[in-house]
Amino acid sequence: MLPRAITTITIDAGRAMFNYRFRPKLYLGDPINIARLYSRMGSDEVLVLDRSPKLFLEDFRPAYLGSVCRQVSTPVSYGGGLKAFDDVVWAFRAGVDRVVFSDSSKYALELIEQASQVYGRQAIVGVVNYDDRPWPRHPRLGGTSESLAGRIRDLTDAGVGEIFLQSVNRSGTRRGLDTSRVKSFPAFSKIPISISGGAKDLTDFDAAFKVGFSGVAASSIFALDSSGKTPLIGYLTEDDRRRMGWL
């Protein structure tokens, strides 16, 4: 399979935001328009992470998700507020191709199992956040994992078809992907693993692909200008892909 450069759109209460280390920092615009732009630019996949407040998600199942899916002609993955099977059904009916479960959800493992049985493993993504702190970061989670690798194994056993490793420390920083702790993971994983958090340039993407990551997800370098301070939606060109040997 060809390596994937994935565009991430983080949404907060219906607005697309640039997040720095998981905290909203800059308003980017309307998520539907941004998704449409990414699609037209040929994004390999649009990853929509909805960090809207719980009440917003529960009471107003975001109408924009259906619009995003209709506007985009590349794959759409969606994560945010998926606490019950009905939420998963709703997301697929809205048109998403894959649902994304964060490992900070204590309900994740049971729900993943249920969703995987109905929609198939290929439609389920598990996000594992990591940083410099010792594992486990979330002792309340289900499963038996005592390590990052164990957490990946638990999610895989539950029915996830892809893992997104997300560096908390690097997220939004453009300091480069933090592969130091995780670069060996693709070599032992039975399922594809992608990575995100801090991607700084295409060389950084390429280094991740070369150690076996299936995809790299990024927001900052696709949503902001080179100063990192002003919204400017952009994406790879076919020449970029050719130059990097990704075709």
Rounded Cα distance between 29 and 9, Å, is 10
Q: How far is the CB of 165 from another protein (least distance, A)?
A: 14
Which one of 15, 61, 83, 121 is in contact with another protein (CB under 8 A)? 121
Q: How far is the CB of 4 from another protein (least distance, A)?
A: 5
Phi, psi of 148 (to 5 degrees): -60, -45
8-state DSSP, 93: H
Stretch that binds another protein, among 29-37, 60-68, 92-100, 136-144 (CB under 8 A): 92-100
Asked whether position 147 contacts another protein by CB under 8 A, the answer is no
Asked whether position 27 contacts another protein by CB under 8 A, the answer is no
Asked whether position 79 contacts another protein by CB under 8 A, the answer is no
Within positions 37 to 66, which residues make up the interface with another protein, using CB under 8 A? Answer: 39, 42, 44
Stretch that binds another protein, among 22-30, 48-56, 82-90, 182-190 (CB under 8 A): 182-190
Classify residue 83 as exposed, middle or buried by CB count within 10 Å of its CB (0-12, 13-18, 19+): middle
Helical ranges in 95-223 per DSSP H:
108-119, 148-158, 185-188, 202-210, 220-223
Asked whether position 189 contacts another protein by CB under 8 A, the answer is yes
* Number of residues binding to another protein, judged by CB under 8 A: 35
Q: How far is the CB of 72 from another protein (least distance, A)?
A: 8
Which one of 73, 104, 147, 230 is in contact with another protein (CB under 8 A)? 73
Asked whether position 31 contacts another protein by CB under 8 A, the answer is no
Q: Which of 63, 107, 120 is nearest to 81 (CA)?
A: 107
Which one of 101, 119, 205, 222 is in contact with another protein (CB under 8 A)? 119
Which residue bears the tokens 């899916």? Answer: 69
Asked whether position 145 contacts another protein by CB under 8 A, the answer is no
Contact 198, 171 (CB under 8 A): yes
Stretch that binds another protein, among 91-99, 171-179, 202-210, 225-233 (CB under 8 A): 91-99
Indicate if the alpha-carbon torsion angle 235, 53, 161, 213 is positive or negative: positive
Asked whether position 234 contacts another protein by CB under 8 A, the answer is no
Asked whether position 214 contacts another protein by CB under 8 A, the answer is yes
Helix (H) or strand (E) holding 79: strand 76-79
Helix (H) or strand (E) holding 18: strand 15-20
Q: Which of 16, 220, 221, 217 is nearest to 100 (CA)?
A: 217
The two structure tokens encoding residue 193:
């693993």
Asked whether position 187 contacts another protein by CB under 8 A, the answer is yes
Residues of this chain that bind another protein (CB under 8 A): 1-4, 39, 42, 44, 73-76, 92, 97-98, 117-123, 161-162, 186-193, 212, 214-215, 247
